[in-house]
Structure 1
Amino acid sequence: VTKVKDNAPVGEAYTTEEKSFDGYHFVGMDKTSDSANGKVTEGDKHIVYVYEKDPEVPTTPVEKKGSVYVKYVDENGNELPGGEKTTVVKDGKVGSYYFTTEKDFDGYTFSHMAEGSSDPTGKVVEGDQQVVYVYEKDETPEVKKGSVDVKYVTTDGKVLEDVTKVKDNVPVGEAYTTEEKSFDGYHFVGMDKTSDS
């Protein structure tokens, strides 16, 4: 209660005003209320404004979401063929799990996770996460090579058949064969002590 006029002469004008209150709205004057504006009469006047509480608007919490992407790159950051950026989780619930795996790429071997990469397996966080596998190019192994030749000689060093190439500059491990031959007037006695198999 606030005094608007106190012990004022009958007939003097008075005014009151509707006020604003947070969380409430004005609905009308109380049925017992005197007029909001008017003139003083003998005795007391009581002016009563009635307010109603504003309805509570239910607030739906916004569910936090996140996405996870994966890609496979070489050491220069170039995506490998078949290793282009793909979506693992799209707008997934924060806290849910995601999984990625290493892949096989011809001519490349997995080296490490890129700097700043998310873990290969983990939980979704708000926003975007990127998992980046880095591969290094395989070195082409040097192919070692060798040659094989054959010749036929007598016990006293005479050449019956001069050197013939059996294999020339071929990869190590390749099979070769030679054969015992017949020469008129001679018979085979064995392999020379310096001979290979």
Structure 2
Amino acid sequence: MIQMNDVNKKSTAERLITLLLGATLILGLVGLFSDFVPIKPVQILGGGVAVVLLALTIIYGRKMSILKPRLKNRYLKVIESLFGGCLLLMLYWVSISYAIPSIYTQFVGSPHERVEIVEPFHLPASKECDYKIESDYIKSTARGFICITQAWYELDETNYLLYGYQSELGFYIRGVVPLKDLHRVSKVAGH
């Protein structure tokens, strides 16, 4: 005879997968909005670990109700499974390649500055910010750009100072300042 406690008992694998999914959701959001530039090996390693985690999630979590497709149509189930798998893979990758190294770099990294030639642009329909800068280096962040103010955009400056923290995993960009504005502030301060 099966007791009620045995029916409601979750396996260790289900608990770990539930914990992993919750942590991945939080870390994925941190990684998506973090201005962190990882080094290439971190991105590659993150992709490999993400694939392994997705495979383990599919193998050990296939019986969990949270991972089962909800739609009744057979073709829509396939689309739902593929979309969900791709979304989960992306969240794993962003968590491992951006969020975890970004948090590590903020705590352990040393202060670092870098001058970068950027391209300012205005995109008024954007939900995050209207004024942005981008460069080949900044495109390595999860978002691919950094928000700036309208006043800095109107300076029409292409040289920006990126400052933040550097570690062996990458560069966390804490902020940016256009060099024209930096020189103006230095003159006013008497430096």
* Fold-level similarity (TM above 0.5): no
Greater share of residues in strand: 1
Point out the structure with max Rg over C-alpha: 1
Give the structure-2-normalised TM-score.
Answer: 0.21
TM-score, normalised via structure 1 length:
0.21
Q: Which has the higher contact order (CA 8 A, sep 6+)?
A: 2
